[in-house]
Amino acid sequence: MNSLPLAAFIETEIDLLPPERGGRRSPISSGYRCNCWIGNGERSERTYNDATFYLLDSEQLNPGERGRARTRPHFPDDWSGLVVGSTFDLCEGRRVVGVATVTCLFPPP
């Protein structure tokens, strides 16, 4: 399994959508990078940001499955409005392929 980066900021639980609900047809691997639609603090607008996901329990996660990941936002300041329990969409282009729920902020490496 890939070693986890020391600068990982957020621990999440990922729910990948199955293909029949618009999800991917192939699994993601640890180190998966995608765009994420996240909340934007007090405003109702959503912000589009990149993140890399390092799977914690396996090397791959199949469509329709749930798994834990250490998530490294590429621009952490833009993610400052998230709290434990916040959710955000995992997107490939405009297509939502999964949902992540924040389970821990700033976990120890």
E strand intervals along 9-59:
10-16, 28-29, 32-40, 43-55
Supply the pLDDT for residue 108.
Answer: 55
Supply the pLDDT for residue 77.
Answer: 77
Give the CATH fold of the 10-105 domain: Elongation Factor Tu (Ef-tu); domain 3 (2.40.30)
Domain ranges of the chain: 10-105
Q: Can you tell me the distance from the alpha carbon of 39 to that of 100, in angstroms, rounded to the nearest whole number? A: 12
Which of 78, 73, 58, 66 lies closest to 106, judged by CA?
73
Supply the pLDDT for residue 9.
Answer: 79
Supply the pLDDT for residue 1.
Answer: 44
Predicted confidence pLDDT, tens digits, the chain (109 residues): 455 554 557 899 999 999 999 999 999 999 999 999 986 555 556 667 899 999 999 999 999 999 999 999 988 877 877 889 999 999 998 899 999 999 998 755 5
Bridge partners of residue 73, in order along the sequence: 51
Q: What is the pTM of this model?
A: 0.84
Output the CA angle 88-93-9, nearest 5 degrees.
40
